[in-house]
Structure 1
Amino acid sequence: MAARQKLRILCFGDSLTAGYSYLGSSYHPYHVKMDQMLAMAFPDYEITTDERGKPGDVVKTGFLTRMQECFPPKKHKDDKPPFDWAIVLGGTNDLAFSIPPQEIFKKLTEVWDVPLRRGCKVLALTVPDATMTEGRLKARIDADRKALNELIMGYKKPNLHVYDLHDDLSSTKTSPADRVEYRDDHIHFTPAGYDFIGNKVGMALVSLLVKQRVADLPPAKRRRMFKNDDKLFEEETGSPESLDGGYVVVRRTDLD
């Protein structure tokens, strides 16, 4: 029996990566649902996820040292990186401390560079919205978050990919009932909310992994894979948020 391909993932960040809920009495990391998505899409993979979320940590002062600890120096020149993918989410606490978005972004690029230099791919996530009441503080933080997310979305570097988590959690994408179900407080999420994040991040990573698999195929086989790409499969008619059906459908258009 052939050995299963290993997929090693680092989920790195602050309390939103740790799955902090209910004043710290419960932790439900988003990677729990993400791992389910990946296992369903790639049953031939052996998937391991290391969650390094530190509540209260800020990008400007804490992230870089912790990321360097995750990627220690090579002992031998042929050593492989400890992870294949690093998913990075940070900036919420920096914004609360009035750190300018340009400074947060500059430090984020340094954090991303640690895994990138070791041959690990990076999936950078934009910063989710906060649901505090209206006022000058909210207006300032909203403007800074928008500026930071635009910097993240516009950054280009080989092996670095960006997923707009903020957009998928916005009021235009979620209903009022969903927001009540998903939000624990102004910043954090309920376990259901973290599952929602894991579902979205998982689908983003599935799409990237499928795209890489296709790119590695010979051209002739690549074309055969996409026969009937416009066909609607029965499994697609259910809720896209549900894993109960046991299917993930990825189209060629999803990979372009």
Structure 2
Amino acid sequence: MLKFFVVGFLTIILGCGGGGSDGSDASSGTPPRIDSVMLYRLDNAGQVASDTFIIGDQLTFALQATDPDLDISQMVVAHYYPAEATSAYFPPVTLPLPSQSSESRLFPPPQPTAVNGPAGQWRADFYVIDAKGNESDTVSVPFEVIAKYWYLDESFPDTDGNPATVDGWLESVSGTASITQSAGVVFFNNTNTADACSLTLTADAGLQVPLYRKFVVAVDVEVPLTQQLQIALADWAMATINGAGANTIRLSTNQSAQTVTPTSYASSRAQQFVFLIDPMAASVRFFLYWQDTSTTTIKSRMEEIGTAQSFDKTAAPTALQFATTAGGTGTAKVQNVQIFIPWGVTIGDSIATGHEGFDPVPARGMLNAQSSIGYWVEEHSLSLYPDNGVAVMNQGVGAHKIHSDVVNRYQSMMIDWDPEWAFIYAGTNDCFNRIPEADVQKDLTTIVDAALAAGIKVVIYEIAPRNTFSDLSNDWKKRWNSWLTEFVSGRPNCYLVQQHDVLEDPANPDKLLPALTDDGVHPTVAGYHLLGDLTWAQVSGALE
């Protein structure tokens, strides 16, 4: 996994020519000279010199230049991708410079700009111009852009149970209760009501989180009825879980607090708690991904709990802490601790969610078990982002229709998370219930156009065969799939996965291949793998 912190200064390469000249065409005076250029990114430590930038970082630079005439007036910057390109990737930018007060001056950094990629080796060319029109030689500065979306993933806790370090992250343990780690799970083993204990996760330079993009902290926990567990991202955000029996969760920041009673919580044990952090807006939203274990059929979905809260971000978070408090007994469990930028979001029905009836059970929210499209998209992403891959959030809800369901939740389920991609798998329940096609078309248009307007690339899916469709539903399906082709053709950055014929049983038209389903409706793991392959073909084609 790539480390978030890359600190160091650049060795500049002095070119001869490029955008500038040697001054021979100027009317008079001495040509200026660039002595050095330093690139910086802005992060937890402030302004840090670096030659590596992550997509979403803020980049700026400082330039040292000399002119005996004291009349340097502007600089020109051009970016080249790939680094050996001869034509600028973006049009060159001319920036005015403050006046010189000495023969050699360090010109301060301009306003930072966002690094949007693409990932790879880049080159920035600089030259300065004086008031007489004399141009300096060009200085070329190489730098690398990487696509990093994971800051901490399922490697914590270590599966080998070693609590010392996890990919450069440091753990510290305090308290009288016993904390153990085994098979990727941390156990807080309270033995009496006087026990309290904590496990704190930090990095060498403090907790590294992205400060210029929304990011997610997600933790799987199990809390016994008699226990209390706190999850805290420094003092930016904290959830205090009072056991399923107490049925309350206290949500707090360094500015406010609230206590909520999720309707789904009492019958559940395994939970995933999610913080959606927006550093720029200094706000946090809280979500609970719950699994109802009170019935034989496991039902999974995410719900927002409480309301968004603001926090004081004068100090960046330095630690992620898990703690039990005195007065609780029993063993609490923490596993699958993750910090990431949501690259993709899957929304829609139970096929989008991942069917819980197939191995591995159950399909889990952020983790995207193999019985889901998102899991296979994450696996394929390693071909483009081999060091860390991407994170795909699972926002599917069983039985959801486009009409009246997804259309009423797409803002909170998709757009609010600022993903780069949205995977919308829905329509089969509209088809099954034969919702008026014009209504469903109108609703899908609303959803897709809102995503595209927000800068999100969209993948939508044909309705697949379903063994329980009536003849009328099959006719509905055929008209819908035909309409989707036309719908996508007029929308840039919108892509269609045409999986119907791939999944159809040639011996039984309008039925699923037996090898790809166990219930005639939902894919098996092999079916989801195939859907992931087809999905990634659309994504990779768009990224080429």
Which fold has the larger relative contact order, with Cα–Cα distance below 8 Å and residues 6 or more apart in sequence? 1
Contact 1:104 1:148 in 2 (8 A): no
Q: Find the aligned partners of 1:12 and 1:165 in 2 and give their Cα distance.
A: 17
**1:144-181 Cα distance to aligned partner (Å, 9 max, x none):** 0011111111112232222212233233599xxx9222
Letter in 2 for 1:147: R
1:138 aligns with 2:470: yes
Aligned to 2:453: 117
CA shift digits 1:32-74 (9 cap, x unpaired): 11211121243267512111110011110010222111324xx
CA pair 31-63 structure 1, distance change in 2 beyond 3 A: same
Match of 1:151 in 2: 483
TM-score (norm: length of structure 2): 0.34
Matched, 1:126 2:462: yes
In 1, the alpha carbon distance for the partners of 2:442 and 2:520 equals 26
Structure 2 residue aligned with 1:201, among 535, 541, 544?
535
Name the CA distance, whole Å, in 2 between partners of 1:59 and 1:87: 13
Q: Any conservation in 2 of the 1:101–1:145 contact (CA below 8 Å)?
A: no
Which residue in 1 is equivalent to 2:524?
190
Give yes or no for contact 2:497–2:534 (8 Å, CA) kept in 1: no
Question: CA contact under 8 A between 2:358 and 2:524: conserved in structure 1?
Answer: no
Match of 2:147 in 1: 5
Q: 1:38 aligns with which of 363, 381, 402?
A: 381
**What amino acid is aligned across from residue 197 of structure 1 in structure 2?**
L
Greater per-residue helix proportion: 1
Q: TM-score, normalised by structure 1?
A: 0.68
- Give 1:30 deviation, angstroms: 1.6
Question: Secondary structure of 2:448's match?
Answer: helix
- Classify 1:23/1:182 alpha carbon distance in 2 versus 1 (closer, same or farther; 3 Å): closer
Cα gap change, 1:103 to 1:198, in 2 (>3 Å): same
Instruction: Sort the Cα spacing of 1:206 and 1:172 in 2 relative to 1 into closer, same or farther, 3 A.
Output: farther
Q: Which residue of 2 aligns with 1:83?
A: 419
Partners of 1:167 and 1:173 within 8 A in 2:
no
1:1-256 superposed matches below 5 A? 2=52, 3=54, 4-6=146-148, 8-22=343-357, 26-27=362-363, 28-43=371-386, 46-69=389-412, 70-72=414-416, 82-132=418-468, 138-155=470-487, 156-172=490-506, 179-210=513-544
Contact 1:5-1:44 within 8 A present in 2 as well: no
Identify the range of structure 1 (44-53 vs 116-125) with the bigger mean alpha-carbon deviation: 44-53
Quote the Cα distance in structure 1 between the aligned partners of 2:475 and 2:438: 12
Aligned residues: 195
What CA distance in whole angstroms lies between the structure 2 residues aligned with 1:162 and 1:86? 12
Q: Secondary structure at the match of 2:392?
A: strand
Partner of 2:44: none
Aligned position for 2:257: none
Secondary structure in 2 matching 1:67: helix
Distance 1:34 1:23 in 2: 18
> 1:37, 1:203 within 8 Å by CA — same for their partners in 2?
no
Q: Is the 8 A contact 1:21 1:190 kept in 2?
A: no
CA shift, 1:138, in A, is 2.2
The CA distance in 1 between the partners of 2:460 and 2:345, in whole Å, is 12
Structure-2 change in CA distance of 1:168 and 1:102 (3 Å): farther
The answer to whether the Cα contact below 8 Å between 2:378 and 2:389 also exists between their aligned partners in 1 is no
Amino acid at match of 1:20: H
Q: Helix, strand or coil: the match of 2:393?
A: strand
Is this contact kept in 1: 2:355–2:522, CA < 8 A? Answer: yes
Which protein has the bigger strand share?
2
Question: What percentage of aligned pairs have identical amino acids?
Answer: 22
Shift of 1:89: 1.2
Contact persistence 1:64–1:110 (CA under 8 A): yes
Structure 2 residue runs of 5 or longer lacking an equivalent are 1-5, 7-51, 55-145, 150-342, 364-370
- Kindly indicate whether the alpha-carbon contact (under 8 Å) linking 2:346 and 2:422 is maintained by their aligned counterparts in 1: yes
Name the CA distance, whole Å, in 2 between partners of 1:184 and 1:101: 29
Distance, in Å, in 2 between the alignment partners of 1:68 and 1:149 is: 25
Tell me: CA distance 1:130–1:160, structure 2 relative to 1, closer, same or farther (3 Å).
Answer: same
Distance 1:150 1:6, change over 3 A: farther
Distance, in Å, in 2 between the alignment partners of 1:34 and 1:170 is 22
- Verify the 8 A CA contact 1:102 1:148 in the aligned structure 2: no
Letter in 2 for 1:103: D
Q: Secondary structure at the match of 1:87?
A: strand
Secondary structure of 1:22 counterpart = coil
Give the letter aligned to residue 147 of structure 2: Q
- In structure 1, what is the Cα distance between the partners aligned to 2:534 and 2:447? 23
C-alpha distance in 1, partners of 2:458/2:480? 18
CA contact (8 A) 2:373 2:529 kept: yes
State whether residues 147 and 385 of structure 2, in contact with CA within 8 Å, keep that contact through their aligned partners in structure 1.
no
Q: Is the 8 A contact 1:21 1:184 kept in 2?
A: no
Per-residue deviation at 1:189? 1.5
